[in-house]
C-alpha cells in the first residue's frame, strides 16, 4: 500500500468513507477561491464532525508530514483557504461542525462550532432576544471559524468592535493534534480570566497557520428595540467625515453603522442588481449609509435620526437625505452597500485594497492617492466604499472604460505600490479585515518591522515546527 493510500485509509477510519472526498468534481469548488484568482490542488478533502475528529486528522497528517488547509465558507478575498498547486495538502472542510452548542441569555454568550454559518448564529441569538452583532455581506455563507481566523470586521465595528472583541474563548487543535481552550470538553467563557497567556488571541487573525479553531464562545447583546437606516448625499470624503463627527455627537452610542459609498459603486449595483435604483433625485459623488440602534422605541429612534438629518441639511453638510420608512426599505438601502463586491465581480476584474487609516486622514488619503493613480494610469475607475466610522476603506481600482481586465491586472504590482506607499505615508494598514492569505504575503514583509516579522515567525515555529498548518499563508 502506498503512503498516500495509507493516509487516506487512516482518514476514512476517522470520518467515514462518505466524508473523505477525492473525486475532482467534489473538490473543484473548495479548491478555487471566491474571486477565482487561486486554484489549488489537494490529495483529499476531509469533513470532520467534532473536535475529536479534527484532532485525530491532524495527528495522522503530522505523522505523514502532510500539510493541512482548514476551510470554512470559502468566502475569503485573499486566498487564505486555498491550498497550493502541489497537490500534497489535505483540505479540512468544517461544514459538518455546524451546531450552536448553547445560548446563555443571562451571561449574554453563545457557544458554537466553527462551521456554523454566520447568519445561523445571528438567528440563534435572535431567538433568545439577543443580538450577535457581527454582520458581513457574506453572512449567508461565511462561518464563525473563518470570521475568527481572519478577525472579520463588518458593518457594526463602530459600535461593537470586530470579531476579536466579540470573542470570549476559543477551542483549537494545534499542529500536534493537542487541544487547547477547553477542559473536559467545556469552554471557559469567562469575561475575566488572568491565568496566563491568552492563547486564544493568538488564533484570532492567524488564518489557520497556528492551529484549527473548532469551537468558540462569543458575546451577545440585548436585542435593540428599534433600528433606523438612512442615506445621506455628501460632496466628498471630507464632508462625510464632518458628518460622521456630527452624527457621533448627536446620536452617541446608538450610532451603529456609518458606511461611505462612492457614486460608481452604486452605479455598478444598479447595473447588475436590478431593480436597485439610485436613492436621490440627482447624482452625488458620494453617499453615506448610516444606522442607529435604539433601546427605547422606534419613534424615539426616528426622532433622533430626523433631528440629525435636518440639522445637517440646514448647515449644508449633506446635499440630500432619505430615511427608511420600513424594514423593507431599510433592506433596500443595505443592498446598495452589500451588493457592491458582487457587482464589481460581475463587471469584471478589479484590484482590491482592504485598508485602514486614521479616520481623520481618510479624505486626504483618497484625494492624494486618486490623483497619483490617475496620473500613472489615466482613466482607471475608483470604486471606493467601506466602513468610514472605523477607518476601514475598500479602495478598489477598476479598468478604464473600454480597457481589458488583463490590461489592468498587468498593472497590479504598480498600482499596489502606489496605494501601499500612500497607506504607509498616512500611518495606515494594508489589511483591515480581509487578512493576508496569499495575496498580501509579500507586501506584509514591506509593511511590518523586522522585529515583528521575526516574532511572528518564532511563534509559528514554536506551535507548528513542521510547518504543516496552512503553509504559504501570511508568513
Give the tens place of pLDDT for each residue, 408-438.
999 999 999 999 999 999 999 999 999 999 9
Q: CA 219 to CA 111: how far, in whole Å?
A: 9
Q: Does domain 100-222 have CATH number 3.30.465.10?
A: yes
- Output the pLDDT for position 39: 96
Coil, strand, or helix at residue 81? coil
- pLDDT of 183 reads 86
Whether the pLDDT of residue 372 is over 60: the answer is yes
| Cα distance between residue 51 and residue 36, in whole Å | 30
Reference 125, options 148, 144, 146, 102; nearest CA is: 102
Domain ranges of the chain: 3-93, 100-222, 226-341, 348-439
The top-level CATH class assigned to 3-93 is alpha beta
Report yes or no: 170 and 219 within 8 Å, Cβ to Cβ. no
Q: Report whether pLDDT(177) > 80.
A: yes
d(CA 434, CA 440): 10
Residues 1-28 have a mean pLDDT of 94
pTM for this prediction: 0.94
* Neighbour-count burial of 24, counting CB atoms closer than 10 A to its CB (0-12 exposed, 13-18 middle, 19+ buried): exposed
Tell me how far apart the alpha carbons of residues 178 and 197 are, in angstroms, rounded to a whole number.
17
Nearest one of 87, 98, 114 to 7, comparing CA atoms: 87
Confidence of residue 295 (pLDDT cuts 50, 70, 90): confident
Tell me, what DSSP letter sits at residue 429? B
Which CATH architecture group holds 226-341?
A: 2-Layer Sandwich (3.30)
Residue 234 has pLDDT above 60, yes or no: yes
The CA distance from 375 to 337, in Å, is: 29
Hey, is 448 helix, strand or coil?
coil
Tell me if 181 sits within 8 A of 213, measured CB to CB: no
CA end-to-end span of the chain: 35
State the pLDDT at residue 332: 96
Listing DSSP states for 149-214 in one string gives HHT---TTHHHH--HHHHEEEEEEE-TTS-EESEETTEE---S---SS--HHHHHTTSTTSS-EEE
Q: Do domains 100-222 and 226-341 have the same CATH topology?
A: no
> Over pLDDT 70: what percentage of the chain?
100
Radius of gyration of the chain (CA): 23
pLDDT at 1: 55
Span 300-328, average pLDDT: 97
Return the pLDDT at 185: 83
Q: What is each CA distance from 286 to 232, 283, 292, in whole angstroms?
A: 9, 9, 20
Q: What is the CATH number of domain 348-439?
A: 3.30.70.2740
> pLDDT (tens digit, 9 = 90+) per residue, 355-369?
999 999 999 999 999
Which stretches of 273-409 are DSSP H helices?
Answer: 298-314, 327-338, 340-347, 362-376, 405-409
Spatial distance between the Cα atoms of 335 and 234, rounded to a whole number of angstroms: 19
Range 13-36 average pLDDT:
96
Coil, helix or strand at residue 398 = strand
**474 in Cβ contact with 208 (< 8 Å):** no
**The pLDDT value given to residue 173:** 98
Does residue 71 carry a pLDDT above 70?
yes
pLDDT at 204 exceeding the cut of 70: yes
Amino acid at each position: 500500500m502506498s503512503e498516500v493510500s495509507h493516509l487516506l485509509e487512516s482518514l476514512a477510519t476517522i470520518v467515514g468513507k462518505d466524508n473523505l472526498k477525492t473525486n475532482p468534481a467534489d473538490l473543484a469548488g473548495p479548491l478555487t477561491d471566491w474571486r477565482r484568482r487561486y486554484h489549488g490542488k489537494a490529495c483529499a478533502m476531509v469533513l470532520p464532525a467534532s473536535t475529536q475528529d479534527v484532532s485525530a486528522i491532524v495527528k495522522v497528517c503530522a505523522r505523514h508530514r502532510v500539510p493541512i488547509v482548514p476551510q470554512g465558507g470559502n468566502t475569503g478575498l485573499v486566498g487564505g483557504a486555498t491550498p497550493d498547486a502541489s497537490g500534497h495538502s489535505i483540505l479540512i472542510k468544517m461544514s459538518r461542525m455546524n451546531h450552536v452548542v448553547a445560548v446563555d441569555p443571562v451571561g449574554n454568550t453563545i457557544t458554537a462550532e466553527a462551521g456554523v454559518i454566520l447568519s445561523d448564529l445571528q438567528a440563534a441569538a435572535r431567538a433568545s432576544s439577543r443580538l450577535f452583532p457581527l454582520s458581513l455581506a457574506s453572512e449567508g455563507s461565511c462561518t464563525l471559524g473563518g470570521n475568527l481566523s481572519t478577525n472579520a470586521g463588518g458593518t457594526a465595528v463602530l459600535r461593537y468592535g470586530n470579531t476579536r472583541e466579540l470573542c470570549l474563548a476559543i477551542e483549537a487543535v494545534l499542529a500536534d493534534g493537542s487541544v487547547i481552550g477547553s477542559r473536559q470538553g467545556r469552554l471557559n467563557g469567562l469575561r475575566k480570566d488572568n491565568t496566563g497567556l491568552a492563547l486564544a488571541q493568538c488564533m484570532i487573525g492567524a488564518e489557520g497557520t497556528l492551529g484549527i479553531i473548532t469551537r468558540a464562545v462569543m458575546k451577545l447583546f440585548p436585542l435593540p428595540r428599534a433600528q433606523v437606516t438612512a442615506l445621506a448625499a455628501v460632496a466628498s470624503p471630507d464632508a462625510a467625515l464632518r458628518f460622521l463627527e456630527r452624527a457621533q455627537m448627536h446620536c452617541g452610542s446608538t450610532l451603529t453603522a456609518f458606511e461611505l459609498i462612492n457614486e460608481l459603486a452604486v452605479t455598478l449595483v444598479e447595473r447588475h442588481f436590478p431593480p436597485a435604483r439610485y436613492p436621490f433625485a440627482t447624482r452625488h459623488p458620494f453617499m453615506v449609509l448610516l444606522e442607529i440602534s435604539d433601546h427605547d422605541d422606534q419613534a424615539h429612534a426616528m426622532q433622533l435620526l430626523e433631528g440629525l438629518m435636518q440639522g445637517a441639511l440646514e448647515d449644508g453638510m449633506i446635499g440630500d437625505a432619505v430615511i427608511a420608512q420600513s424594514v423593507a426599505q431599510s433592506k433596500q438601502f443595505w443592498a446598495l452597500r452589500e451588493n457592491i463586491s458582487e457587482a464589481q465581480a460581475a463587471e469584471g476584474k478589479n484590484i482590491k485594497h482592504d485598508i485602514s487609516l486614521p479616520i481623520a486622514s481618510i479624505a486626504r488619503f483618497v484625494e492624494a492617492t486618486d490623483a497619483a493613480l490617475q496620473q500613472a494610469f489615466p482613466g482607471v475607475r475608483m470604486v471606493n466604499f467601506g466602513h468610514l466610522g472605523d477607518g476601514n476603506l475598500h479602495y478598489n481600482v477598476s479598468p478604464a472604460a473600454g480597457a481589458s481586465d488583463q490590461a489592468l491586472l498587468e498593472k497590479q504590482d504598480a498600482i499596489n505600490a502606489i496605494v501601499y506607499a500612500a497607506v504607509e505615508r498616512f500611518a495606515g494598514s494594508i489589511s483591515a479585515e480581509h487578512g493576508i492569505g496569499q495575496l498580501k504575503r509579500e507586501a506584509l514583509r514591506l509593511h511590518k518591522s523586522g522585529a515583528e516579522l521575526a516574532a511572528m515567525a518564532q511563534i509559528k515555529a514554536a506551535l507548528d515546527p513542521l510547518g504543516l498548518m496552512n503553509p504559504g499563508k501570511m508568513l
